[in-house]
Amino acid sequence: MKKLRGILLIDDDDTNNFLNHRLLNRMQITDRIKEFRNGKQAFDYLYNISEGHVDLSNPEYFKPSLILLDINMPVMDGFEFLALFEKLDAKFLEDVVLALLTTSEHGQDTERAAASGIPYLIKPLTAEKVQELLERHVPETEG
C-alpha cells in the first residue's frame, strides 16, 4: 500500500490526538503526522505551505494528504476552519482529503457535516474507519 504524504490531526483533546496518532502509526500509512490544538494553528500552517512561505525541505513542514478535523474546539472550531480552508488555492486542495471527526451520531454537528457533503467519522477512530475513508477518497491507496 502506497504511503500517504502526511496526516494532520486537528483536535483540542490531547488524549484523542495521542490515540489517533498511535492508531495511524500502527497502521503504517504515513511517516509524517502532525497535531494541532485548534483550527487557527492548523490553518496558519496550511496557509504558509500553500503560499510557499516555508521551506518544504524542513521535515516539520509538509503538505498533508489527509486532514482529520474535530468540530468542537476553542479559538477556531471545525466549521470556522472549514470556511477558511475552502478558500485556499484550489490547485493546492486538489489532492488533500479532509474528514470531520464527531462524537455523536445524531445532533446538529452531524447534520451540518452531512449537509456540507464532507465525509465525517464518528469517534472513536478505528483502523476500519480509516481504511474505508482512504478507499473511498484517496484512489491511489486502493488495493
Partner 1 sequence: MLLHQISFLLNAGIPAAPSGPGGLFLVSELLVVTAYLAVAGILFYLALKRDERERKLVLVLFGVVALMGGAVHLLNFWGFSTRNELILGLRLVFGLLAIGAAFLLFRAIPGLLAIPSQRQLQKTNQELRGQIQERERAEAALRETQIELEDRVQKRSAQAIMANRELEREIENRKSAEKQLISKNYELIKKNADLDDFVYYASRDLKAPVLNVSGLVEAIREELPTNNQELAQLFARLDDSVSSIHRKLNNLTEVSRIQKPLEADQLEMVSFATALAMVQERMPEPLKIAGAEVKADFSAAPEVFFSRDNLLSLLTNLLSNSIKYRDSERPLRITLTTRLQDPYLVLEVQDNGMGIDLEQYGNHLFSLFRRFHDHVEGSGVGLYIIKRIMDNNRGKVEVQSVLGEGTTFLLYFLNHDQDTGARV
Query: Which stretches of the chain bind partner 1, using CB under 8 A?
Result: 13, 15-16, 19, 22, 72, 103-104, 106-107, 123-124
Minimum separation from the CB atom of position 125 to partner 1 (A): 8
- Residue 60 or 107 with smaller CB distance to partner 1: 107
Minimum separation from the CB atom of position 62 to partner 1 (A): 26
- Residue 13 or 44 with smaller CB distance to partner 1: 13
Which residue reads 483502523 in cell numbers? Answer: 127
Judged by DSSP in three states, 97 sits in strand
Minimum separation from the CB atom of position 19 to partner 1 (A): 4
Measured between alpha carbons, how far is 135 from 131 in angstroms, rounded to an integer? 6
- Residue 19 or 49 with smaller CB distance to partner 1: 19
- Residue 17 or 141 with smaller CB distance to partner 1: 17
Judged by DSSP in three states, 15 sits in helix
Cβ burial of 41 (10 Å; 0-12, 13-18, 19+) is middle
Residues 65/4, Cβ–Cβ less than 8 Å: yes
